[in-house]
Structure 1
Amino acid sequence: MMNEECNSWAHDDPLMLDYHDTRWCRPVHDDNELFAMLCLEGQQAGLSWSTIVKKEAAFRLAFDNYDISRVAHYDEHTIEKLMNNTAIVRNRRKIESAIHNARVIEDMLTMGKYSTFDEYMWHFTDGARIVNRWTEFSQIPAKSKLSEAVSKDMKKYGFTFVGPVIMYSYLQGIGVIDDHLDGCPCKLNEKFSRK
């Protein structure tokens, strides 16, 4: 159950309701799933999130369930195959970005500063979650100082489609930020830490 504000966010769409109830703002620590959410957020640029949610199963199938090592080795033939896949968003820049970002993750982990992509993504908050106390969705910002800092750092590594607005949505999607409204039964009230 959720309040009317949550219903309006999901537009009574069963897939969006399920995403809101079971995944949005929930902590993610699996590297491939963190990569999947990064790709899906990048695919969403200029589109509605509901469009991406409806195509998510097709995206996961087309991109080998976002296995980082597999996507990093996609070649031009694979790109053409993806461009001909009518079940996904066929935007060459976004497809190439997913492949490029997989390679960036592999390179980053090879450098040795971070042992996992999870460690990198959660180091910005020392493994803690930011639990905001909004009462209306209109209060939720499009970006924050944190998303700007994450965006800037990721761009230094060479990631693409990681602007501060995309990063704010991504941080919500992987649970670093909890923007469920106060009173929403889906809000995780406990503080989360890997430590």
Structure 2
Amino acid sequence: MVKPGTIEGEDGRCRCAWHQGLADYERYHDAEWGRPVTDDIRLFEKICLEGFQSGLSWLTILRKRENFRAAFAGFDFEKVAGFSEADVERCVVDAGIIRHRGKIVSTINNARRAVELRDEFGSLARFFWSYEPKPEERPAVMDLETLRANPTTAVSVRLSKDLKKRGWTFVGPTTVYAFMQAMGLVNDHLDGCYLQPVVEAERQAFTRP
């Protein structure tokens, strides 16, 4: 049975409909979205790319992701923290990425803040996973209506405020919640998506940093 918010693929499996049946988007949905992540580079990359997504679709960013990685030293925040004004100008004229000066400058700023955060907490993962919602802060099963009605949560608001207090930019509550969804801090695969129980099992077996 195909439940609301899901679509059946050519393989007979039902998935969250947001991947639109597009092959690259489906691969992202299946292999990455919602899987628990502790790698600091991936965490930094994702929160920066979510900032670039603001006002755009994630598919646009996903299809430019390799270009972003090339432009921003693989999102190694130690390296990005050392970027100069010349690097800003290089990125501004790079047609392979989103040429938004404010977001480019924000990524460099956030790299410097990430170094500070890593030095304080030992890793970005330890900081971000401290904001994993408690069971009572999450609905038992995420449905389409809940997902659409609540692009932010009380936890994403708190995390956003904490990051902003630490000097991060382009980290509003909606951006932060999208980051939490993608990095597995929550499991928002819809009821009826074949990956919902798969990801939940991964989260149950996952060792928090």
Task: Give the structure-1-normalised TM-score.
Answer: 0.90
Query: Which residue number in structure 1 is paired with residue 200 of structure 2?
Result: 189
Matches within 5 A, 1:75-154: 75-110=84-119, 112=120, 114-125=121-132, 133-136=141-144, 138-140=145-147, 141-154=150-163
**Percent of matched pairs sharing the same residue:** 35
- Describe the superposition over 1:38-91 as per-residue Cα deviations: whole angstroms up to 9, x where unpaired: 111000000011101111111111111100101000001111111111010000
- Describe the superposition over 1:67-123 as per-residue Cα deviations: whole angstroms up to 9, x where unpaired: 01010000011111111110100000000111000001112333x3x0111111011
Q: 1:66 & 1:32 partners in 2: Cα distance?
A: 6
Query: Which residue number in structure 2 is paired with residue 31 of structure 1?
Result: 40
Equivalent position SS for 1:151: helix
Query: Which residue number in structure 2 is paired with residue 173 of structure 1?
Result: 182
| Alignment pair present for 1:66 and 2:75 | yes
Does structure 2 conserve the Cα–Cα contact (< 8 Å) formed by 1:71 and 1:102? yes
Query: Higher mean Cα deviation, 4-13 or 61-70?
Result: 4-13
How many aligned residue pairs are there? 191
Does structure 1 conserve the Cα–Cα contact (< 8 Å) formed by 2:15 and 2:194? no
Matches within 5 A, 1:1-40: 3-4=6-7, 6=15, 8-40=17-49
**Counterpart residue type for residue 34 of structure 1:** L
| Alignment pair present for 1:48 and 2:62 | no
Q: 1:132 & 1:86 partners in 2: Cα distance?
A: 43
Q: 1:7 to 1:25 in 2, by over 3 A?
A: closer
Deviation (angstroms), 1:164: 0.5
Q: 2:27 & 2:69 partners in 1: Cα distance?
A: 17
**Counterpart residue type for residue 132 of structure 2:** T
Task: Give the structure-2-normalised TM-score.
Answer: 0.84
Does structure 2 conserve the Cα–Cα contact (< 8 Å) formed by 1:171 and 1:177? yes
- RMSD (Å), alpha carbons: 2.2
Does structure 2 conserve the Cα–Cα contact (< 8 Å) formed by 1:31 and 1:118? yes
Q: Which runs of 5+ in 1 are unaligned?
A: none
Does structure 1 conserve the Cα–Cα contact (< 8 Å) formed by 2:187 and 2:200? no
Deviation (angstroms), 1:36: 0.3
**Counterpart residue type for residue 29 of structure 1:** T
Equivalent position SS for 1:147: helix
Q: Which runs of 5+ in 2 are unaligned?
A: 8-13
Deviation (angstroms), 1:15: 1.4
Deviation (angstroms), 1:12: 1.6
Does structure 2 conserve the Cα–Cα contact (< 8 Å) formed by 1:16 and 1:50? yes
Deviation (angstroms), 1:13: 1.4
